Structure 1
Amino acid sequence: MELRHLRYFVAVADEQSFTRAAERLHISQPPLSRQIQDLEEELGTPLFERGSRPLKLTEPGRFFYSHATRLLEQAAQAARATRRVARMERRLVIGFVASTMYGALPRLVRLFRAALPQVEIALEEMPTLDQIEALKSGRIDVGFGRIRLEDASIKREVLREERLVAAIPMEHALAIPGKPIILAALESQDILVYPRKPRPSYADQVLSLFRDQGLHPAAVHEVQEIQTALGLVAAGMGICVVPEGVSRLRPDEVIYRALSDPQAVSPIIMSTRLHGQNEDIATLRALIDRIYQEQAEARQRAEATRAAAVDKPV
């Protein structure tokens, strides 16, 4: 089996016609039909329902199509990467979930550009679930997400557990600035979660926090984007549980209260291909440690300053 067999098969499946597929491939129809027949003989099963109009895949054909398209994409990615290496080009593509953009990610990108100005860096927002497939297909090189998913070909590292906070409408009875709150206090409230899809997602993390404590929100409203959720909070439509880094958004319309429950955390997970480590990813990982160390030192200084203010004689 060769890559051309996969290209021919995918073209016929996409076009649902040998005639149109031959035109797309710029070959005549008889050789195309013979190549598909050879492929079916090698696999030991028909891939198309020959009597159907338009042409339909058999059940084995649908299964093979999903793998064939992935293999062709991986081959194309390998060719692109090889051409970049031949031209001494370096590029790092990062996939991320929206909430990480409000934390350390912008500073990480700035530091990386300063450390390796010769490396082109690109950012693509995508759910954690999509990051896994994007890593496997070569569309991205690193992913930052929040969902614990296992895949034998992906290396995943929990960088930190970020505290969660409740985003509360400004006029709500629970909107008490600066005072922590327990999750049970949100029972019987309307809760906004995101994203609506794909699932599992951060929405499921939040809902499991309620379920684990036997808590029942009055209603659960699913939206797709974090900005939409916070906009609805500002409009008084409900309360949303978000990562602490998000609390910079809408400060004049939303009150953020830290959740004091020990389990009210969300992981920040870095994902890479198991065998796709290189010096650029190593540099990125070292910069993450630097940022977290700076943040820890800043918190220690702030705590020392507060303690000194308390101890200072009046």
Structure 2
Amino acid sequence: MKITLRHLTYFDALCQHGHFGLAADAMHVSQPALSVAIKELEDIIGTDLIDRSQRPFLPTSHGREVLLTAKRVLAELDALERATGLQRGIEGPFDLGVIPTVAPYLLPIALELLQERLPKLEIRIREAQTEVLLTELEANQLDACVLATHSPDPNHREHILFRDHFVLALRSEQANALGLVDGKIELTDMAPLKLLLLSEGHCLREQAQDLCRFATQEVLNQIGSSSLQTLAGLATSGYGATLLPEIALDQSLLSGPLAILRLAEPEPDRVISLVSKRHNTAALDLSALSGVLADSGALCISKTRKSLAIRRRRTADLI
């Protein structure tokens, strides 16, 4: 005969109550059934586990060691049962990957909303470039990831969150010298500009290169930065121009010396999506999380557009 969870559960109950009758009541079994189970456990282990010479009944020295093990096993079983009963994506641990050109702008709003709407979800953030996140998603190290490029893997499912338009950022005097007009800038107008891009490996670099197909590779490769903040800082210093996604336009940029100019319609944009593995669809409910992320993106972009509109009105008043 082998030790079963029934043996450990009954033994734990007896040690808690110190009385066979009370322990049996707590386990909703008859006292003889509980007594038989305790005796079976003692026979399997080969020694007395309960000191029956006193009341209430207490575990023997050997019984105390068995009790510690029993409690650990029962606790781990309870944790396993709770984990398997969780609504994945709604509660419990969740590993979310986010690309660097989205994470610092979307997450402050998203995490606050998540605390309100999904308080039982224990979100764990992993910030890395697209290729790294997709590799970790495939290895089941991530539950989902927020990307700005289409995943080529047919086994991936994409939940579109929002569209993020690109704007051109450069010093106002440079924009004036080139005759660049907000909302009327064609891609061909960008050919003379020294465009500052992210370093190799960032999806935004590839997107910018696609947009700037009229510029020469020599101009596009003048510098490779690892962050949008660095690009904005270089543009502010007059070193060149850069393309920024709307979501990255914080108040410091909007109130600074940079000209933030919209491109002509249809404005180029990128699609921000929540990507997960298709075979996890039944076990992973992403509807609530994708809703929070979509709302967070909409709030962030709405705030940016309002600030840009106020900035344009102020500029018009000064002319």
Identify the TM-score tier after normalising by the shorter chain.
Answer: 0.5 to 0.7
Give the letter aligned to residue 255 of structure 1.
A
| Map of 1:48 onto structure 2 | none
Q: Does 1:262 align with 2:266?
A: yes
Cα distance in structure 2, aligned partners of 1:178 and 1:136? 45
TM-score, length-scaled by structure 1: 0.59
Alignment length (residue pairs): 219
SS for the counterpart of 1:152 is coil
Query: How far apart, in 2, do the equivalents of 1:93 and 1:290 lie?
Result: 20
Percentage identity across aligned positions?
A: 19
Looking at structure 2, the residues matched to 174 and 299 of structure 1 have their Cα atoms a distance apart, in angstroms, of 23
For 1:219 and 1:197, how far apart are their aligned partners in 2? Answer: 15
Which residue pairs with 1:216 in the alignment?
216
Closer/same/farther in 2, CA of residues 177 and 124 from structure 1, 3 Å limit: farther
Instruction: Determine if contact 1:96/1:126 at 8 Å carries over to the other structure.
Output: yes
Does the CA contact (< 8 Å) of 2:160 and 2:273 recur in 1? yes
Equivalent residue for 1:50?
A: none
Question: 177, 182, 196: which is aligned to 1:179?
Answer: 182
Question: 1:287 is matched with which residue?
Answer: 292
- Hey, what does 1:134 align to over in structure 2? 136
Distance 2:265 2:303 in 1: 24
Larger Rg: 1 or 2?
Answer: 2
Give the Cα–Cα distance (whole angstroms) in 1 for the partners of residues 284 and 193 of structure 2: 48
Q: Match of 2:159?
A: 157
Name 1:231's counterpart in structure 2.
Answer: 233
- After superposition, the C-alpha distances for 1:83-118 in whole angstroms (9 at most, x for unaligned) are 982696811122112232355443222222222222
* Structure 2 counterparts to residues 60-209 of structure 1, below 5 A: 85=83, 90-101=92-103, 103-174=105-176, 179-180=182-183, 181-194=185-198, 196-198=199-201, 201-209=203-211
Deviation of 1:82 after TM superposition, in Å, equals: 6.6
* Unmatched segments (≥5 aa) in structure 2: 1-78, 308-319
Shift in Å, 1:137: 1.4
AA matched with 1:189: L
For 1:202 and 1:301, the matched residues in 2 are separated by 24
Contact kept? 1:84, 1:90, Cα under 8 Å: no
Contact 2:159 2:290 in 1 (8 A): no
User: Aligned equivalents of 2:227 and 2:304: distance in 1?
Assistant: 30
Report the Cα offset of residue 121 of structure 1: 1.1
Q: Distance between the aligned counterparts of 1:290 and 1:254, measured in 2?
A: 28
Unaligned runs of 5+ in 1: 1-80, 303-314
SS in 1 for 2:164: strand
Q: Report the CA distance between 1:162 and its aligned residue.
A: 1.6
SS at match of 2:290: helix
Task: Report the aligned-residue RMSD.
Answer: 3.6
1: distance between equivalents of 2:298 and 2:279?
Answer: 28
Give the Cα separation in 2 of the matches to 1:299 and 1:230: 16
Q: Are 2:186 and 2:263, in contact at CA under 8 Å, matched by a contact in 1?
A: yes
Residue 279 of structure 1: how far off its partner (Å): 5.6
Give yes or no for contact 1:92–1:122 (8 Å, CA) kept in 2: yes
Could you state the TM-score of these two structures normalised by the residue count of structure 2? 0.58
Structure 2 match to 1:37: none
